[in-house]
Amino acid sequence: MNKTVLAAIIVVIAMLGATYLAVGSAGGMGGEGDWVNKLAVLGAVVLVIVTVFVVTKYVRQMQYDKASGKLADENWDGIGEYKNELPFGWAVIFLGLNIWAIWYFLAGYPVNAYSQIGEYNEEVAAHDAKFEEQHAGMDDETLKEMGGSIFIVQCAPCHGLQADGIEGKAANLNVRLEEKTVKHVINNGQGMLGYPAPMPDRNGLFNMNTGALITDAEIDAVAKYVAGGMKGTEGADVFAGTCAACHGVDGKGMEMVAPSVVDYNPTLVADVLKHGKKGAIGSMPAFNNLTEVQVKALGAYVTDLSK
């Protein structure tokens, strides 16, 4: 037997023995159903055998093989390459490793393996479903009480315990809209919180009464009118000519077109929680961690603040 082949066999046996001593004797081979450790050991064995085989093959080639075959037409400074076919063994190993990799990731590990995060997500989903079922039939007062508790945890850090916005750091939820908020939306436009089309900025707002783009004076007037609860006459004509087409003559919004600018409603609160909101004093992130019942409860609580 060739010395190189004999040395390769000895190396394989020695490395496999070392692998067994490292993981087998210490219990690392895994118990019944422990696929992770078993696959790791199998991978180590395959790696050892393939590595030794390839190294042995090339060592023998360097010892005994001679260059032969047909030269390729291309050459660089007179140095050319032979048109060697892909070794059959390489093709088999490459195909086998690809098949094993696909199986490993889809059926073996990690897709089919235990995941602590996955277990946590499943437990949270089961708890949420139980919570939804348990609180599905609450009356309005119970909803408001739950909403108040959720508000303290989720909303009060920014909006304050009194929902007053903590000196302008967040929106004051005791009023539907403030004058500066209305001006900001008119001047800059607004993503419509789940509505199909966004509200354009002032360059897309026409006053149908004058047939021209809305002016600074008209913005000031309509902002004051909307922020004041749409009472009085100042700014009412601007609202009727510019805003009523989407928000309605009474300002209570139109389904799938625009939200209410008069008062809160649960749909508006739910849309803000789902999509977040950009305003005059900054951006509010979306709160997608809340269940439907929690969103409904917050809607009941917030809509009651400004009454």
In a domain, residue 169? The reply is: yes
230 and 197 in a common domain: yes
178 and 256 in a common domain: yes
Q: Which among 288, 273, 266 is positioned nearest to 140, based on CA atoms?
A: 266
Q: Is the pLDDT of residue 17 over 70?
A: yes
Task: Give the C-alpha separation, 234 to 87, whole Å.
Answer: 88
191 and 55 in a common domain: no
pLDDT of amino acid 147: 92
164 and 98 in a common domain: no
Q: 288: pLDDT confidence band, cut at 50, 70 and 90?
A: confident
In a domain, residue 160? The reply is: yes
Separation of first and last alpha carbons in the chain: 96
In a domain, residue 199? The reply is: yes
Query: Across 193-262, where does the E strand assignment appear?
Result: 206-207, 212-213
Q: Which domain holds residue 172?
A: 128-305
In a domain, residue 82? The reply is: no
Task: Give the C-alpha separation, 296 to 298, whole Å.
Answer: 5
CB 195 within 8 A of CB 259: yes
pLDDT of amino acid 138: 82
Task: Give the C-alpha separation, 54 to 240, whole Å.
Answer: 83
CB 256 within 8 A of CB 197: no
Domains held by the chain: number: 2
What is the reported pTM?
0.56
255 and 196 in a common domain: yes
pLDDT of amino acid 168: 83
110 and 175 in a common domain: no
Q: Which two tokens stand for residue 93?
A: 């190993």
More confident site: 152 or 37: 152
164 and 57 in a common domain: no
pLDDT of amino acid 104: 81
